[in-house]
Structure 1
Amino acid sequence: MIENDIATKIIGCAIDVHKNLGAGLLESAYQECLYYKLKKEGLRVEKEKPMPIIYENVKLECGYRIDLLVENKVVIELKSVDSLNDVHMAQTLTYMKLGNYKLGLLINFNVILLKQGIKRIINGTL
């Protein structure tokens, strides 16, 4: 399955989770529900995937973790904040670069209409 097809499924699942839960909950609640929904849809999902940093040819475990990684291709960074900002985008892009992933979805569940809280981030060409 290619990244765009995976992203379409992810967005559909995220919209379903948001419709059921609404805005205003903690990020961890959305993460657990989206993780469950994606698994139920038959997708391979890793939760809190460790993301080490390679510095001067040394692998360093710094505590960075991808919220969800789907099919080992699409990074999902979840937020429940008033608004997304450049730091959130940079964080997602950094995870994508560290893992050499091409597509990321930054999803803010703290919005009235989830469509307004989804940012698609591309690293390289898709």
Structure 2
Amino acid sequence: MLHQTSLNRYPLSAACNEIIEIAMDVHKSLGSGFDDSSYKEAFSKRLKSRRMSFEREKRFGLNFNGLIMDQQFSADFVIDDQIIVEVRSIPERLKNGYVDVLEQLVVTKPKLGLTINFYEEILQFKQVLLMEENIC
């Protein structure tokens, strides 16, 4: 029962788990030490092999009172039009590394974001979820 309640509360958890599995597979295959673009390419190939729907480098405009501003946000990946994924390979802890994803979630339709850092020996990831006000 607890498992089902969790799935109802977080309906994207199955897709999120699959994305993390893919990232772990990429990290296991490549290891650490490459630049972002190498991990993005490998991640993209794994998404294709699993037949997941995604867009790379999707741009989002910032809506200000009905006008789209020149300022745009770019997401590394948008999966199933629901989940934003930012891929990194930098020597930083992810405790503050979710800010880009949070900004993108506020501007866009997706409500779940993942920041994945391939730099360390152990894969690091951070989930960011925007919840409706009436859920909490």
The CA distance in 2 between the partners of 1:103 and 1:58, in whole Å, is: 25
TM-score (norm 1): 0.89
Residue number in structure 2 paired with 1:121 = 128
Q: What 5-or-longer segments of structure 1 have no aligned partner?
A: none
Match of 1:35 in 2: 44
| Aligned equivalents of 1:39, 1:123: Cα separation in 2 | 27
Report the Cα distance in structure 2 between the residues aligned to 1:93 and 1:64, rounded to whole angstroms: 11
Q: Deviations over 1:46-74 (max 9, x none)?
A: 00001111123211243421000111111
Q: Which has the higher helix share?
A: 1
SS of 1:51's equivalent in the other structure is strand
Structural RMSD (CA): 1.6
- SS of the aligned residue for 2:99 comes to helix
* Residue aligning to 2:55: 46
Q: Which of 70, 83, 108 is the matching residue for 1:74? A: 83
For the pair shown, the structure with the greater C-alpha radius of gyration is: 2
Q: What is the TM-score when the length of structure 2 is the normalising length?
A: 0.83
List gaps (5 residues or longer) in structure 2: 1-10
Which of 84, 98, 102 does residue 89 from structure 1 map onto?
Answer: 98
User: How many angstroms apart in 2 are the aligned matches of 1:64 and 1:95?
Assistant: 7
Q: Is the 8 A contact 2:82 2:109 kept in 1?
A: no
Deviation readout 1:25-83 (Å, 9 max, x if unpaired)? 11111111101101110100100001111123211243421000111111101111111
Q: Name the % identity.
A: 26
Aligned residue identity for 2:48? K
Instruction: Tell me which amino acid in the other structure corresponds to 2:23.
Output: A
Which structure would you say has the larger RCO, counting Cα contacts within 8 Å and 6 or more residues apart?
A: 1
**Counterpart contact for 2:62–2:72, Cα < 8 Å:** no
Residues 1:23 and 2:32 aligned together: yes
Alignment-derived partner of residue 71 in structure 2:
62
